[in-house]
Structure 1
């Protein structure tokens, strides 16, 4: 093919890319593949995703927090725009991240990051506004509560499998070597709460999980959680406490939920009337429901919030994937490490005994240390969000770009890395 022909093909490829929104590199690759197939006398086939999916990579919430912090640090500390390749390389070094760039890209998306296209058609990886809003809201509220001198209590649930051991385990002399079973065995669910003064007295709940589901969250439903609040937590809280919870579904059961589109007309009218929202009884159901949609966000109320408020306490919810704001996560790590080190029998009685042993030995000072660490992390993010605002102000985002993610994941990764702004000078 001579230079003139190649120029023609390149122009055609650019036209196709511009008209369809398909990345130019994809169009060129298809053209070259078609040329090769014609020369070989083969039939041209539509491109398909034939990549073999790797095994699912499971990482804990602490590593997810490291991923978020790494992306932020590219912007804030390193003064560079992150690409997936750079993020992947850094996480490999810092936490020995086990997955590929593809699996990391999925994780980054789940954490609430998206590629934002600028007006010069380059891309920048930024956190979704709703995630940032939840974090900012939490930081403002928790700071206000601390200034007021209110006791802050962190609650959470975790689990330990009966086969939970470490590579170097304690031995009672009855066995020369331990082989970890393939099955995870039974599962112990632990619910507790604590703060700077240590664990809340009499708030420990431990029970054997129902094994029908692989998710320990399924074993703590709204009814069980409410019973724990009423019988073990609330009676032992200091007056005017602030209870910190995560976003588990049973923490978010609604009190008097808004009617849906299939509700009775009278129920819609009653809901609007109780909340003093202007309406008319002559309105049709679609009109009434539209009013509900416009106003229901203002009147969302959760059952546990109502319950705790009736006893003089407040509830605040952690932003998603921010375990560094929740000191009890570090307490769980201490308990699990203790159980893993001494778990020889690998049965339910043993792990319950070991877990209780460790709970009883965790000191007030240890709790204070992890709470101080959480406060330090909060202060870091207070400054981070202001800088992130400044970064978005310096780059003009293309408000007409709605296709932030390519349907072709492989190509999207390549295009995001190729078209992302690169070099420290971009953020200076």
Structure 2
């Protein structure tokens, strides 16, 4: 939150995979099922912690484990039955005896009429969050600088490196991490938001300057 790590949200998992695998890619230890279980426990806490009159918002990145969809949107290579079922689910009658190309054209037109594939995607966790009044905002790929929590991760990793040794047992490291997160002071948390807002403002200024420069070039070209 803007003042502290949300009580009840801290969960540090120790993987039972071989250390050689963990060092290569931690994503082997974290999957969509674990994410969904965690979010179903934490989202009600987020909703309850929001001040009166303010909508709770959760910023996440676009990791694949965050993107389990409620229902898949068919593609051109989908079976005829999938195309017919998709249209039927959206109130459009179609026959399995139609040519597949005709069915796909009807599906494609329907998808485009609803703003395209991305607009029609419904994510499982996002839909659950919406029932609690929590809005989930996804960051563009490779834009982690817009998420305050990334600064906390960086501070936590620095703390763990300085507080222990590589020979420490994982249970000890886990306990240190939990204690550090639970005792993070309000000033440090507030700074992460201020830092992200500064980055946003800086990028806005650059974009505005680029737009101004582009407009000035156009004006010069027209006058010549």
- Counterpart-to-counterpart distance in 1, 2:91 and 2:56: 31
Is residue 100 of structure 2 the alignment partner of residue 290 of structure 1? no
Unaligned runs of 5+ in 2: 49-54, 219-224
Q: Of 381, 386, 393, which residue of structure 1 is paired with 2:203?
A: 381
- Helix, strand or coil: the match of 2:88? helix
- Counterpart-to-counterpart distance in 2, 1:218 and 1:392: 46
Distance change in 2, residues 1:253/1:393 (3 Å): farther
Q: Of 33, 50, 65, which residue of structure 2 is paired with 1:223?
A: 33
- Counterpart-to-counterpart distance in 1, 2:174 and 2:185: 19
Cα contact 2:4–2:185 (8 A) shared by 1: yes
Match in the other structure for 1:196: 2
- Counterpart-to-counterpart distance in 1, 2:88 and 2:171: 55
Q: What TM-score comes out, normalization by structure 2 length? A: 0.78
Cα contact 2:5–2:182 (8 A) shared by 1: no
What is the CA deviation profile of residues 127-150 of structure 1, one whole-angstrom value per residue up to 9, with x for unaligned ones? Answer: xxxxxxxxxxxxxxxxxxxxxxxx
Structural mapping, 1:39-50, within 5 Å? none
- Counterpart-to-counterpart distance in 2, 1:201 and 1:306: 23
Q: What TM-score comes out, normalization by structure 1 length? A: 0.43
Q: Which has the higher contact order (CA 8 A, sep 6+)?
A: 2
Structural mapping, 1:209-248, within 5 Å? 209=15, 210-211=17-18, 212=21, 214-231=24-41, 233-239=42-48, 240-248=55-63
What is the CA deviation profile of residues 373-422 of structure 1, one whole-angstrom value per residue up to 9, with x for unaligned ones? Answer: 111211222232233345566779xxxxxxxxxxxxxxxxxxxxxxxxxx
Unaligned runs of 5+ in 1: 1-194, 397-428
Report the Cα offset of residue 334 of structure 1.
Answer: 1.5
Structural mapping, 1:86-165, within 5 Å? none
- Root mean square deviation of aligned Cα: 2.4
More strand by proportion, 1 or 2?
1
- Counterpart-to-counterpart distance in 2, 1:360 and 1:299: 38
The farther-off stretch of 343-352 and 358-367 is 343-352
- Counterpart-to-counterpart distance in 2, 1:262 and 1:324: 37
- Counterpart-to-counterpart distance in 1, 2:31 and 2:197: 30
Match in the other structure for 2:140: 319
Report the Cα offset of residue 313 of structure 1.
Answer: 1.2
| Structure of higher CA gyration radius | 1
- Counterpart-to-counterpart distance in 2, 1:392 and 1:249: 37
Distance change in 2, residues 1:292/1:390 (3 Å): farther
- Counterpart-to-counterpart distance in 1, 2:5 and 2:216: 46
Report the Cα offset of residue 197 of structure 1.
Answer: 2.5
What is the CA deviation profile of residues 233-282 of structure 1, one whole-angstrom value per residue up to 9, with x for unaligned ones? Answer: 123113541111001001112211112345442331231233356x7536
- Helix, strand or coil: the match of 1:237? helix
Q: Of 291, 298, 304, which residue of structure 1 is paired with 2:125?
A: 304
Distance change in 2, residues 1:320/1:395 (3 Å): farther
